[in-house]
């Protein structure tokens, strides 16, 4: 049995004990100095901007501060302001040393200094002395502001910060809370590497950091994925003792680091050596890890063990299991756990339903989604924006925009504020249905409500406009996007390039392509394929080749789509030899030819008047495992018809029908029209009528092109009676005649 599967049974051995709050013991004792004036710290280095402390000035300041207790003593206040203007950082330190036993006096000095000299140029030592006094006075917020000011000073290292606090520690009669605050300040400022370095320096100097501050540091390191550093801190503090919070952080670290199989040994070690036992958080962490990894049975084993240890599975416990089951596509089992949760008397929350809803949305089960949503409303559980966006996206993607709007109204009725994701889902739904006016109205509402459009929202509307060939509006929206300070991505510009290519605006497309290069926006194969397709369709082979060369030079590998586009462009122009060169390159790169590429090659043969060679090519490809489609046969049939080789064309139709009996292809209206057109051009109208009867017998309805060919064929024979008969039949089938006969 794998190691990780042993863990649940091992945890059953543990029992709970209360773990006392632990503080790390210092390596050396710290004493408080006497009330006599203390010397400046040994490491204090005077600079040109900071002269030595003036004992006379310090005496004067301390006297003025004492006199300041009398609010009517205006002379003392004026004297104090005068003395403050002559201060330097070392004098600040000395004054605070003198006032260390009178915190009220020390705080008054700090206040006066800040009020009268807000731009005073502190050193790390003067700030450190202030921090010690503020911490002792219980003004932790002000102390943290000073700490932030100190650690953010340009060029100040962690060594200087720690040394400054250490050097002023004793003479300020400080306590270890200062070092806790330092670590917490770094952690809260998300400077975790600096926090770890400061912790290491403090420990090397023998100072104490509380277990709570250490837990804050370790927890943040684990969340950031710096598990190795977290273990370093843990091993340091474990010598002095840990608590259950530390235990849970390290269990989480093992789970995040993919070492869940080592949790059992870790818990045994902590229990035996430190007397710290798992709590309900430990169980929930492990159950969540097992569920997330798909080890569902192990998760259930732990859940079953919880009551014997005095713990009851709660909402969080069930949520992690349900989420794990949904994540691993075990939806029915997740519903069973949900039902068990209800039977146990627990009330599911938005997180519970979110897992079920999102999985039902992934399955595309609209009925199930509505049932879950209805159950939420019955239980007065308000869905969050993630739930609403998932449900609305499901209906918008399936084309049921009205239903998506119903949920949009539910959202607003629940007091939630739609975000850009919600609006983008609806905008996408409108664009998909071609309702661009409604999409723009929703976009305007989005802006009115203060919801900023992001690149995804703009791309959605741009795609809709380009799809509807509204390039003017698309260009205008693109300009607005850039004016708002949003940077278009590769997809944005590829959308616009594709829109211009489809309208034949190839110069505009190339200008956008050049802009991508100038702005160093990532170029990908989709962008190149779009340009290749645009120039290939207008027959500009030379430019298409230049684009191909540029793509390869940037080490962007052509895809099967790239080869298909290039082969099709060359074959459409009758450049069969060039198409074969691309074909050979594709085969040498190990790219398997797609049906589109093979069809393009066959089209090249037919365009060159070599339909028989095209058929030989097809036979060769079929022998190598290629499976032709309807377009393959229609291309060859059309090629033979152009060569007036009707027998071979008709033979291919029979071959298709033969493949149909083997579960293969069914001739469509294009197949029959090609044969029928060929007979009509050769004035073989009886044969043409026979094709018409056959296609109708086969369940293929004739179209306007079918009747136009027949009418023109009979007109060319001056057989107006038959021409008008088919004209009337054409009208009966709902087709409008044109002037082509």
- CA 727-730-734 angle, 5° bins: 140
pLDDT tens for 256-269 read 888 988 998 999 99
pLDDT at 73: 57
Q: Does position 456 have pLDDT exceeding 70, yes or no? A: yes
**Residues 6+ positions from 62 with CB-CB distance below 8 Å:** 95, 98, 99, 105
Q: Does position 570 have pLDDT exceeding 80, yes or no? A: yes
C-alpha of 526 from chain center: 21
Mean pLDDT along residues 605-624: 90
Residue 5: pLDDT band (50, 70, 90) is very low
| DSSP character string of 480-496 | HHHHTTPPP-HHHHHHH
pLDDT tens for 130-142 read 999 999 999 999 9
pLDDT at 30: 31
* Portion of the chain with pLDDT greater than 90, in percent: 58
Positions of E strands within 124-195: none
H helices, E strands: number in the chain: 40, 0
10 Å CB burial of residue 687 (0-12, 13-18, 19+) is middle
Phi and psi dihedrals of 65, rounded to 5? Answer: -65, -40
How many Cα atoms within 13 Å fall on the side-chain side of residue 81? 8
Mean pLDDT along residues 565-591: 90
* Contact yes or no for 737/730 (Cβ under 8 A): yes
pLDDT tens for 632-655 read 999 999 999 999 999 899 888 888
pLDDT tens for 709-728 read 999 999 998 899 998 999 98
- What's the rounded Cα separation, in Å, for the pair 481 and 261? 51
- CA 559-561-567 angle, 5° bins: 105
Mean pLDDT along residues 247-274: 91
Mean pLDDT along residues 94-100: 89
Mean pLDDT along residues 599-607: 91
Q: Does position 145 have pLDDT exceeding 70, yes or no? A: yes
* Residue with token string 């302001």: 81
pLDDT tens for 161-173 read 999 999 999 999 9
Nearest Cα neighbor of 158 from 150, 169, 168, 149 is 150
Q: How many CB atoms lie within 10 A of CB 161?
A: 23
Q: Does position 74 have pLDDT exceeding 60, yes or no? A: no
Nearest Cα neighbor of 300 from 290, 308, 292, 311 is 290
Q: Does position 36 have pLDDT exceeding 50, yes or no? A: no
Tokens found for residue 107? 């705080």
pLDDT at 29: 33
* Contact yes or no for 571/607 (Cβ under 8 A): yes
- What's the rounded Cα separation, in Å, for the pair 130 and 171? 12
Q: Does position 527 have pLDDT exceeding 90, yes or no? A: yes
- What's the rounded Cα separation, in Å, for the pair 677 and 638? 10
Residue 453 region, left (φ>0) first, then alpha (ψ -120 to 50), else beta?
A: beta
Mapping DSSP to helix (H, G, I), strand (E, B) and coil, where does residue 398 land?
coil
Q: Does position 21 have pLDDT exceeding 60, yes or no? A: no
* Contact yes or no for 523/554 (Cβ under 8 A): yes
Q: Does position 19 have pLDDT exceeding 50, yes or no? A: no
From 3-7, 431-435, 709-713, the region with the lowest mean pLDDT: 3-7
Q: Does position 24 have pLDDT exceeding 50, yes or no? A: no
pLDDT tens for 321-375 read 999 999 999 999 999 999 999 999 999 999 999 999 999 999 999 999 999 999 9
Q: Does position 377 have pLDDT exceeding 50, yes or no? A: yes
pLDDT at 664: 64
- What's the rounded Cα separation, in Å, for the pair 291 and 251? 15
- DSSP assignment letter at 383: P
Mapping DSSP to helix (H, G, I), strand (E, B) and coil, where does residue 50 land?
strand
- What's the rounded Cα separation, in Å, for the pair 301 and 262? 18
């Amino acid at each position: 049995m794998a190691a990780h599967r042993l863990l649940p049974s091992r945890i059953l051995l543990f029992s709970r004990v209360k773990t006392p709050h632990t503080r790390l013991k210092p390596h050396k004792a710290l004493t408080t100095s006497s009330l006599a004036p203390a010397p400046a710290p040994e490491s204090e280095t005077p600079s040109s901007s900071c002269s030595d402390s003036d004992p006379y000035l310090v005496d004067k300041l301390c006297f003025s501060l004492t006199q300041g207790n009398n609010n009517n003593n205006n002379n003392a206040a004026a004297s104090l302001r005068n003395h403050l203007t002559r201060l330097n950082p070392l004098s600040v330190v000395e004054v605070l040393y003198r006032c260390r036993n009178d915190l009220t006096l020390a705080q008054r000095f700090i206040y006066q200094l800040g009020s009268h000299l807000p731009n005073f140029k502190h050193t790390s030592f003067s700030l450190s002395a202030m921090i010690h006094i503020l911490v002792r006075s219980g003004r932790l917020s002000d102390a943290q502001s000073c700490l932030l000011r100190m650690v953010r000073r340009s060029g100040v290292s962690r060594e200087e910060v720690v040394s400054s606090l250490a050097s002023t520690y004793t003479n300020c009669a400080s306590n270890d809370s200062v070092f806790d605050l330092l670590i917490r300040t770094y952690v809260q400022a998300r400077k975790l590497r600096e926090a770890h370095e400061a912790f290491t320096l403090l420990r090397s100097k023998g100072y104490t950091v509380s277990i709570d501050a250490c837990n804050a540091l370790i927890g943040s390191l684990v969340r950031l994925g710096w598990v190795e550093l977290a273990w370093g801190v843990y091993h340091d503090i474990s010598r002095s003792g840990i608590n259950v919070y530390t235990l849970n952080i390290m269990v989480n670290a093992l789970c995040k680091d993919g070492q869940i199989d080592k949790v059992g040994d870790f818990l045994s070690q902590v229990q035996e050596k430190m007397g710290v036992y798992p709590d309900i958080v430990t169980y929930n962490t492990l159950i969540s890890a097992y569920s997330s990894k798909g080890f569902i049975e192990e998760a259930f084993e732990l859940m079953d063990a919880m009551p014997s240890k005095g713990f009851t599975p709660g909402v969080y416990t069930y949520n992690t299991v349900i989420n794990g089951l949904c994540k691993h596509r075990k939806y029915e089992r997740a519903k069973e756990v949900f039902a068990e949760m209800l039977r146990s008397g627990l009330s599911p929350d938005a997180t519970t339903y979110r897992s079920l809803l999102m999985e039902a949305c992934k399955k595309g089960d609209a009925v199930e989604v509505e049932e879950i949503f209805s159950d939420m409303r019955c239980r007065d559980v308000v869905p969050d924006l993630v739930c609403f966006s998932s449900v609305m996206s499901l209906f918008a993607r399936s084309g049921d925009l009205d239903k998506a709007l119903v949920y949009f109204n539910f959202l607003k009725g629940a007091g939630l504020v739609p975000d850009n994701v919600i609006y983008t889902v609806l905008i996408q739904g409108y664009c998909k249905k071609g309702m661009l006016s409604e999409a723009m109205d929703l976009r305007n509402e989005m802006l009115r409500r203060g919801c900023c459009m992001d690149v995804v929202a703009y791309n959605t509307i741009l795609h809709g406009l380009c799809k509807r060939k509204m390039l003017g509006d698309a260009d205008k929206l693109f300009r607005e996007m850039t004016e708002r300070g949003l940077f278009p991505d590769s997809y944005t510009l590829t959308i616009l390039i594709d829109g211009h290519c489809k309208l034949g605006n190839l110069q505009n497309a190339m200008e956008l392509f050049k802009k991508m290069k100038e702005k160093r926006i990532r170029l990908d194969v989709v962008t190149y394929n779009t340009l290749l397709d645009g120039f290939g369709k207008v027959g500009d082979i030379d430019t298409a080749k230049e684009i191909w060369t540029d793509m390869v030079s940037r080490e962007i590998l052509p895809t099967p789509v790239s080869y298909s586009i290039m082969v099709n462009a060359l074959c459409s122009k009758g450049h069969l030899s060039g198409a074969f060169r691309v074909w050979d390159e594709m085969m040498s790169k190990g790219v398997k030819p797609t049906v589109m590429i093979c069809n393009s090659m066959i089209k090249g043969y037919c365009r060159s008047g070599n339909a028989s060679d095209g058929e030989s090519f097809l036979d060769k490809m079929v022998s190598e495992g290629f499976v032709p489609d309807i377009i393959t046969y229609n291309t060859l049939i059309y090629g033979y018809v152009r060569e007036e080789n009707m027998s071979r064309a008709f033979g291919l139709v029979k071959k298709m029908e033969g493949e149909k009996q083997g579960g293969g292809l069914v001739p469509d209206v294009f197949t029959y029209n090609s044969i029928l057109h060929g007979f009509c051009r050769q004035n073989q109208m009886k044969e043409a009528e026979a094709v018409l009867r056959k296609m109708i017998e086969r369940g293929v309805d004739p179209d306007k092109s079918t009747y136009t060919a027949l009418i023109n064929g009979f007109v060319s024979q001056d057989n107006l009676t038959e021409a008008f008969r088919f004209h009337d039949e054409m009208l009966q089938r709902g087709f409008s005649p044109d002037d082509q006969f």
